[in-house]
Chain A
Amino acid sequence: MALDNLRDLYQQVILERYKKPRHRGKTNPVHRYQRGHNPSCGDTIELTVKLNETGDRIEDVKFEGEGCAIAMASADLMSEALQGKSLEEALDMVQRFQNMMQGKGEFPFEQRKLNVMQGVSQFPVRIKCATLTWHTLKAAIEASNPQPAGFVSNE
C-alpha cells in the first residue's frame, strides 16, 4: 500500500484544513499584502494582514491562492496561529517553523497545532510547500507599506 508511509505527511488535520480552510479570504482592512510564489511548481499564495492601531500586533491574517494540500493547510494553520501575535513573535515563529522543517525542535504547547506539519520534514522535496506561506509572511512583515511588492519566492 502506497499510502501507509504517508500518514505522517498527510495527517488528518492537514487534510481537513485542505478541504475546509478556515482562514481563506482577505482581511479588512489590508495593512500588509504580499504574494508568494513557488517557481518550481507554480504554487501561489496571497497573504493579507490586519494590524492593531499601533501597527505592531497582528489582529488577523487571511490567505488566498492555489497549491497542494501541504501548502494550503500550512497557510491555514499559520493564519490561525498568528492571531494576536506581535510582529516580533511572528518573526520568531517563522524561524521556529523553518527549524522544525529541518527536524530541529517544535512549537510549544499553546501553538501545538502547528506541530502537525512536522511530518513534512521527512519529505525534503515537500518542505518548500510547507514554508511558502511562512516566507511570504516574513516578507509581508518586513515590508513597511501595504503596497503589493511583487512576488517573494522561496527558491
Chain B
Amino acid sequence: MTLIQEKTIAAKVRSDFPILNEQIHGKPLVYLDNAATSQKPIAVLNALQHYYKHDNANVHRGVHTLSSRATDAYEGARDKIAAFVNAAFRQEIVYTRNASEAINLVAYSWGLANLQPGDEIILTVMEHHSNLIPWQLIAQRTGAVLKFVELTETEEFDFDHFKSLLSNKTKLVAVVHISNTLGCINPVKEICAEAHRYGVRVLIDASQSVPHLPIDVQDIDCDWLVATGHKMCGPTGIGFLYGKLDLLRSMPPFLGGGEMIADVFLDHSTYADLPHKFEAGTPAIAEAIALGAAVDYLTNIGMDKIHAYEEELTAYLFQQLEQIPEVRTYGPKPKADGSGRAALAAFTAGGTHPHDLSTILDQAGVAIRAGHHCTQPLHRYLGAQSTARASLYFYNTREEIDVFIAALKEAIEFFGSLFG
C-alpha cells in the first residue's frame, strides 16, 4: 500500500499546527484524539488575536468603525460556513455554542411547538448523548415516544430496521452522520429521502463529518444539520445549525435577549429576521470569525483531498490493528483502499482495560481516548463497558500510527503476560 497523499498533505500542513511540536514525557506528541477535538492551525490562532488586537467591538450595535469591522468579519464568517456546506441562503446558518446547543435549539424550539403525545422520534442506538438527551427531555415534556434504529451485523446503520420504524406517527428522524465510536458513515441522503416520503423532518448530527468530508446540505436534503467548530480546526465555544429557510422561519425563538428582537414593548416583542432570531445576546464574535478562518484553511487544502488522505490513513491503521490478535475493533471494516468508514478506531484489547492502555500510551506521547465517548447506550448495546479510541485527522502520519501501534503492542504484552 502506497500512501500517495502523505507527502502532499500531512507533511505540508504539520508546521501550521504549533502544538504538534509538544513533547509529552520527553516524546514527540502523537495526537490521536481528534474526534474529541482537533488541533488549531496558526491561521485560526491569528484570527483570534487579530480580532482582539484590531477589530474588537460589539456586533450589530454601533455605527462606529470598529463595530462595523467586527460585524463584517462576524457576518463574513457566516458566508464562509454557508458556502462550506453549500447552504442555499446565508440566513440558514445560525451560530450556536456547539453541536449540542444546536440540537437543543431544534428540540426546544421546533420540538416543543410541534410534538404531540404519541408522536414518534426516530434516533439510533449509536447517537452521541448530545443527540439523545435533548430528545429524552422533549419526549418527557410532550409525550412523544423515542424509537431507535439498531445495527446490522457489521455494526452499521440498519436501513431495513429504519424503514420498519417509519410510519405516519413519525414526526422526526435525528441521526448521526458519522458515529464518533463506530466510525460508520450513515447514508444520510437515503435516510432523508425515505423520511421525506412520510413528510418527516430529519436532523443530521454532522459533528464528525463536516471536519472530514465535503458536505452539501442541498444534496443531502436534510432539514437541519449541526456541527461544532472545535472539531474542525476552529476554537471552542462556536458551532452552527443549518436549517432550511422556511422551516427556520416557522420556528419560535429558543433563547430571548438582545440581538434577536425587532421591536420590544414591555409586554411583548417582535423578533428579528433570520438568523438573528436565534442568536440572543452578544455572540462568540472572535470564535465565529476564527471558525471562518478554519473554514478558509480547510477549503484551501480541499475537503476532497483531506477525505482521500484520511482514507489512506484508515487503510493503514486498520491493517496494523488487524495484526494484533487481542484487538477487537468496532464498526465496519474499511475497504482495501480505506474507504467506507471514518479515520478512527474504537477498540478493546483483551483483558487490558482502556484506561490502563491510555495511561501507558500517554507515556509514549500518544494521546488516545478511553471511556464511553459519550455513547453509553451504544457501549451497552455492544456489550463493551468502555473502549479505547484512536481518531485521526489530516495532519497525522503513517509514522505516528507506527508509534501508536508499537506502544499499543507493548501495553498489551505488559498486561497480557498477567493473564497469559
Which residues of A are in contact with B by a Cβ distance under 8 Å? Answer: 1-3, 5-6, 9-10, 15, 18-19, 40-44, 66-71, 123, 125-126, 129
Contact = CB atoms under 8 A, between A and B. Distances in A.
A2 B410 contact: yes
Contacts of A9: 359
A2 B363 contact: yes
Contacts of A1: 410
A42 B370 CA distance: 10
Contacts of B372: 41-42
Contacts of A10: 356, 414
Nearest to A15: B418
B224 to A, nearest CB: 29
Which label, helix, strand, loop or mixed, suits the secondary structure of the B interface?
helix
Interface of B: 25, 353-356, 359-361, 363-364, 370-372, 376, 379, 385-386, 407, 410-411, 414-415, 418-419
A69 B415 contact: yes
Contacts of A67: 353, 355
A3 B414 contact: yes
B319 to A, nearest CB: 22
A96 to B, nearest CB: 24
Contacts of A5: 25, 363
A19 B418 CA distance: 7
Given A41-B355, A69-B356, A126-B355, A3 B363 contact: yes
B66 to A, nearest CB: 42
Contact of A3 (B360, B370, B419): B360
A39 B290 CA distance: 32
Contact of A66 (B359, B364, B385, B418): B385
Given A6-B360, A41-B355, A69-B356, 4 more contacts: A3-B410, A15-B415, A18-B418, A19-B419
A68 B386 CA distance: 10
A44 B356 CA distance: 15
B25 A41 contact: no
A48 to B, nearest CB: 20
A129 B359 CA distance: 12
Chain B CB count within 10 A is highest, among A5, A15, A40, A68, for: A68
Chain B CB count within 10 A is highest, among A41, A66, A71, for: A41
Contacts of A69: 353, 356, 415
A2 B355 contact: no
B356 A70 contact: yes
Nearest to B360: A2
B359 A126 contact: yes
Contacts of A3: 360, 363, 410-411, 414
A136 B420 CA distance: 31
Contact of B355 (A6, A15, A44, A68): A68
Nearest to B406: A2
A83 B386 CA distance: 31
B153 to A, nearest CB: 25
Chain A CB count within 10 A is highest, among B356, B360, B385, B414, for: B356
Contacts of B385: 42-44, 66
A123 B356 CA distance: 12
